[in-house]
Amino acid sequence: MSDSFKQEAVTSSVPEKTSSLSSKEVDGLKRFLGSSTEYYLQSFNEIIQGKKYKLNIAAAVAGPLWAASRNVWFLFWALLVTDILGCISIARSLWSADTYPEASVAVGLGVLIIGRLIGGGVANSFYYKLYCKWRITPSVLSGSTGNRVMKGTALIAAIYPLTIYKFSATQVIDALDSFPTNRKIASTTAKSIDAFVEWLTISFEDIFDSITWAIRGMLDFLELLFIGTPWPVMALLLLLLSWKMAGWKVVAFTAAALTYLGAFGFWDKSMSTMALVGASVFICLIIGAPLGILAAKKPRFNRILNPILDVMQTMPSFVYLIPAIAFFSIGKPPAVLATVVFAMPPMIRLTALGIQQVSPSVIEAMLAFGASPAQVLFKAQLPLAMPSIMAGINQSIMMSLSMVVVAALIGAGGLGYDVLSSLQRLEAGKGLLAGFAIVLCAMILDKIIRGRVESNTH
């Protein structure tokens, strides 16, 4: 387009003796600018020499449109906000019955003028920063184009009128004040979901009972292992595991943490929580690791899986209790399943990431020597991806422990029950002690896993 901001081509040319730009930089700057090159050559030289604030008349007059045309979008939104604030103040003098409407007009004009002057004063500095970014990344859009002016105009037309009307009018039309909808849409959809869940519960009752039986069996075994084993033996096993996986420093920390759990009467509940977390992480591993491997090897499957994982990670944790109760009633098995859904995404993502980061040259070398795809996976990709997989296990453990209190709402017990009952009875001391016990359980497991990851890395 021809230069739409003629104010930019002002008065002076590039200083001959004070220029801080080499001839090569000047050529590059001309390619970046596209128009008004003399004005910006001088302005950028002044910025380099320390004069950062100079009024850009075009930016002050055109405001957001100048910023949009020059791809300085941060300044575009800043000027847009000040323009709207000023226009709202002016519009209020027209809509409302103020005693002194001239005051609102004066304030609005003041905001508009000051905002434009500040915008014009910093415009060249913002544009110079964009130029520096363009020098490093030439793909950054440069110059002034009609396409960006049209985008800026469209945004202004879409935002200004409705926003100014909403905040200045004494009475706003209902369609703008609240989203036009019908309450029957939500109720009808909710009833349909209820009917579908009820159908699933009845039709697949045997499958749900089998899953509940399997999880309960796993939990019974783990609780027998953690709680049924004499506490000195279990403490010794945890200390040996800490020493084997992470070293003497973690052994000392584990000993101190176990002493806290025992001294404050949290041993059995801590071990019950460990059993719940162990069952959840085991399920996350046997389901999440294969899905992560498949996602790493099948890009199309990965594209389908990623939105599902995003939903699983962003959904509020309490929501997972709804299908868990609907399909599996209450107790520890549905608590485990709700925890699995919440804690599985990092296991899948980090497994896929670890396999994707294996060097292609390693795979090519194995294939060149006649290795099968299974041998490549089990002898190269999985061992090299093990630090990332262990990090995924670590994250699943942390997220499982963060579900302990939520799971207590449906009868999971353990330390989460103490925190929940303390919250209900406003027993701050008991709740804090139980919460710190959960933190210590998390730190023990975290330090053990991190020690293993570091040993694999070295």
The pLDDT tens digits of the residues spanning 255-270 come to 999 999 888 888 888 8
pLDDT higher than 90, residue 79? yes
Nearest to 438, CA basis, from 273, 256, 258: 273
- Give 75 or 453, the one with higher predicted confidence: 75
The pLDDT tens digits of the residues spanning 83-92 come to 999 998 888 8
The pLDDT tens digits of the residues spanning 316-337 come to 878 888 888 888 878 888 888 8
**For the chain, domain boundaries:** 6-177, 206-457
Output the pLDDT for position 451: 67
Architecture of domain 206-457: Orthogonal Bundle (1.10)
413: phi > 0 → left, psi -120 to 50 → alpha, else beta; which?
left
pTM across the whole model: 0.70
Output the pLDDT for position 94: 75
Output the pLDDT for position 96: 63
Mean of the per-residue pLDDT values of the chain: 82
Buried b (16+ CB within 10 A) or exposed e, 325-355: bebbeebbbbbbbbbbbbbbbbbbbbbbbbb
Q: Are 392 and 290 in contact (CB under 8 A)?
A: no
Which residue bears the tokens 């910025």?
47
Output the pLDDT for position 457: 53
The pLDDT tens digits of the residues spanning 174-217 come to 777 777 777 788 888 888 988 998 888 888 888 888 888 988 88
**Share above pLDDT 90 across residues of the chain, in percent, rounded to a whole number:** 16
| Section 18-35 average pLDDT | 68
- Cα distances from 103 to residues 3, 92, 107, 150, 186, in angstroms, run 38, 10, 6, 34, 46
The pLDDT tens digits of the residues spanning 333-360 come to 888 888 888 889 999 999 999 999 888 8
| Range with lowest mean pLDDT among 185-189, 370-374, 452-456 | 452-456
| Range with lowest mean pLDDT among 132-141, 285-294, 390-399 | 132-141
pLDDT higher than 50, residue 134? yes
pLDDT higher than 80, residue 172? no
Q: Are 105 and 33 in contact (CB under 8 A)?
A: no
Output the pLDDT for position 111: 92
| Range with lowest mean pLDDT among 3-12, 285-294, 361-370 | 3-12
Output the pLDDT for position 165: 86
The pLDDT tens digits of the residues spanning 222-254 come to 888 888 888 888 889 888 888 888 778 888 888
Output the pLDDT for position 153: 92
Query: What's the rounded Cα separation, in Å, for the pair 59 and 65?
Result: 8
Output the pLDDT for position 6: 40
pLDDT higher than 80, residue 444? yes
Output the pLDDT for position 12: 35
pLDDT confidence bin for 455, thresholds 50/70/90:
low
Q: Are 83 and 63 in contact (CB under 8 A)?
A: yes
| Section 379-405 average pLDDT | 86
